[in-house]
Amino acid sequence: MSALFSPHTLRSVKLANRIVVSPMCQYSAERGEANEWHMIHLGHLALSGAAMLCIEATAVEPEGRITPGDLGLWDDVTEAALKPVLAAIRKHSKIAVTMQLAHAGRKASSHAPWDGGQLIPVSEGGWLPHAPSAVPQKADETPPLALDTAGLIRVREAFVASAKRAARLGIDGIEVHAAHGYLLHQFLSPIANHRTDEYGGSLENRMRYPLEIFDAVRAAFPADKPVGVRVSATDWVEGGWGIEDTIAFANELKKRGVDWVDVSSGGVSPLQKIPLEPGYQVPFAKAVKEATGVNTVAVGLITDPVHAEEIVASGTADFVAMARAMLYDPRWPWHAAAVLGASVDAPPQYWRSQPRELKTLFGDISFGQR
């Protein structure tokens, strides 16, 4: 049996295989509201054959958007906009649907990547970002506002409110975004966190606020549904956050009942130097898995089915998540199953597409016609 296509359970969520569609920012919402693009984008990925689909980084408050086009879940309107998208997925797919809750921190108020991705000044329709410290992402940018006590409470309550909305929508699980240089990663990294209070300085202090957010989300979301965390294992900058820090953070999350740790890297500094190659982040997932025993998700230029199989079969990670590879090949799990001699779930409308030599790709089915 293929390890990649073996089942796994996260609390009450039963997964048919170990393939996850990573959250992918689309920068296509309007005032935080999902629209027809999200229906098409998430709908076709829900038919991919993966076991879990994670909705893109979803801002818990308007100021927490990376761009004006970020998806949000902060009021009744943004909640209602997601209902038809989820209803369509539920009607036609068995895939587990999770959501990544996020706050951009000092990386907020930016142009979409295809428009340059730079900070949008307040004078040009942007807003002043909030962060752990008044330290900009880039030296020539306007410094963000350092979060005071009231701001910390506001953001924490926003995460809680969004988690409750996600529960009402029937979302199967939540991933708290603490990676890629966004707010919670900013608290973790000494590059962005220059605070001198109980939320800055030592590793214990820098972990405090992200752990408070996890605790608050975990308490607000149904106990029988899983909550995971995405982390950046290293800043790829000397003197920044590193793998040993990540392991310490993962151990604290384990104590709190985290259901998975999604191990990525980078994003907090433009000075990062990342050696890109297939599976370049997999060793970080392995290190977290070996040190903590928590469910881990491996990511990072994983495109070959045999490579993905080896990652799971060896115990390096429990899941493999893909983003760009899945956009390029939305039926990647089908093709991986064909290579590995496994089967995937597919809607009956597509059953006739399986090649004759792969009669069991969609399981034990028959398709008659008068």
Show which residues are catalytic.
182
Rounded to whole angstroms, how far apart are CA atoms 323 and 346? 20
Sequence-separated contacts (24+) of 298-305 with Cβ below 8 Å: 298/263, 299/22, 299/262, 299/263, 299/264, 299/323, 300/264, 300/265, 301/276, 301/277, 301/325, 302/278, 303/278, 303/332, 304/278, 305/4, 305/335, 305/336, 305/339, 305/340
Question: Which two tokens mark 299?
Answer: 């990511």
| H or E segment and range at residue 322 | strand 319-322
In order, the DSSP letters of 154-222 are HHHHHHHHHHHHHHHHT-SEEEEEE-TTSHHHHHH-TTT----STTSSSHHHHHHHHHHHHHHHHHHS-
Rounded to whole angstroms, how far apart are CA atoms 107 and 236? 18
Tokens 């020539």 belong to which residue? Answer: 140
Nearest Cα to 66, choosing from 115, 138, 119? Answer: 119
C-alpha distances out from residue 72 to 43, 63, 68, 291, Å: 18, 10, 10, 35
Question: Which two tokens mark 13?
Answer: 């969520």
Question: Which two tokens mark 151?
Answer: 């701001």
